[in-house]
Amino acid sequence: MPEPFAWVPDISRGEWLRPMESEPFGSILSVVPAGFEAYARVFHPVQRDRPRDTRTWHGVDQATHFQCVRNLEHAIEDQWTSWAATAASFGTTMHPEAQFARLVRQAPGPADDVVGLDGWRYFPPQEGCLDAAALSVAATVLTEHTTTPTAGVAAVWEGWGGLMSAGARMQLVLASSGLRRLAVTARQVGARVRDALGYRFGASLRHAKPGTGILSREVATGPRFDLHGGTGRSYVLFEAGAADFVDVRWTDRAPWIDEAIWAQSPSIIWPDDHAWVLATEIDFDSTLVAGTRVLVEELVHTPGLEVLPVPSDADLSWQGDALDHPE
């Protein structure tokens, strides 16, 4: 049996996903394949914060309130919450086609940090990455819905900063350090720095030498599995069954991760029996799962995840949220 997380140079193992290219780009069926009984949307966690002393941002002058504070992170409490809790704070409606910007009463498009009625400041969910803990919880369920829980493929987008070259990685480290020094709010840097920076240095550093980043030169220069030609969806494949993600410490073994704080989830995971597909499109702030109705139902009721069933023809574009509108 292949070693878990070993590189897969045989990109033909992804060919069964090729029919997704005939679907409208950005649609659900262009992210996960058609033909499954049911589909689910796993919402990426939302981060929120507030000052510890006032317990609200309302009435706080950020320019002066923290002038004498030496430990900014201690002065502000920070926690993860759900989309449903976010909607409750803004008086909007949580539903399968919800868009975060609409939930916080902003115009369609990328959402900004915004303070809710409850005094918490809400930050947009991370795009392109399902956090390690949530993936671990989901994997625990997924292992029960395949005959090959220890055998499958994890496809990792090649464009994540630092993956292919040391130049991108160095820029990320320096930029994140700068953000820590210059921050005037206490949003924890950790997993959110990639959002602040875009975390996609590949475009500006495409001439950096491959093989000087996290991945070895053999992998960095090896075959790629390309989907939706011309859109930049090119992936490196690794051996990985759902069982390999059950332990949240999977981040210590994944060869595309060098530090847990930067843990990047695979863009696509599927078992060898093709019983389901879990996909995190690089521009989506939620993850899609295609599988059986029983699988979807179990995911919906799994503690630690925020999941709703979603029809395969749902509109997840910025304009797709027909229930929530900005004021």
Rg (C-alpha) for the chain, rounded Å, is 20
Measured over the CA atoms of residue 324, residue 188, residue 286 and residue 19, the dihedral's sign is positive
Structure token digits, residue 315: 């509109």
Distances (CA, A) of 86 to 13, 93, 129, 287, 308: 40, 9, 19, 18, 16
Could you report the per-residue pLDDT of 263-315, keeping only the tens digit for each?
999 999 999 999 999 999 999 999 999 999 999 999 999 999 999 999 999 99
Higher model confidence: residue 63 or residue 56?
A: 56
**What pLDDT is recorded for position 290?**
98
What's the token pair of residue 211? Answer: 């093989």
| Geometric angle at alpha carbon 152, from 275 and 239, rounded to 5° | 170
pTM score, whole prediction: 0.88
Tokens of 76: 């502000």
In whole angstroms, give the CA distance from residue 219 to residue 278: 23
pLDDT averaged over the chain? 87
Q: What is the per-residue pLDDT across 155-212, written as a single tens digit (0 to 9) for each?
A: 999 999 889 877 554 444 433 333 332 333 333 333 334 444 444 444 444 456 777 8
Which pLDDT value is given to residue 313? 96
pLDDT > 90? residue 72: no
Residue from 238, 269, 300 nearest 42 by CA: 300
What's the longest Cα–Cα distance across the chain? 61
Could you read off the pLDDT of 132-145 as tens digits, one per residue? 999 999 999 999 99
Cβ neighbours of residue 269 under 8 Å, at least 6 residues apart? 152, 153, 154, 155, 240, 242, 245, 277, 278, 279
Place of tokens 């625990």: 140
User: What percent of the chain lies above the pLDDT cut of 70?
Assistant: 86
Residue 246 has pLDDT above 50, yes or no: yes
pLDDT digits (tens, 9 = 90+) for 5-35: 999 999 999 999 999 999 999 999 999 999 9
Place of tokens 């317990």: 55
| Residue-level pLDDT at 198 | 41
Contact call for residues 159 and 74 (beta carbons, < 8 A): no
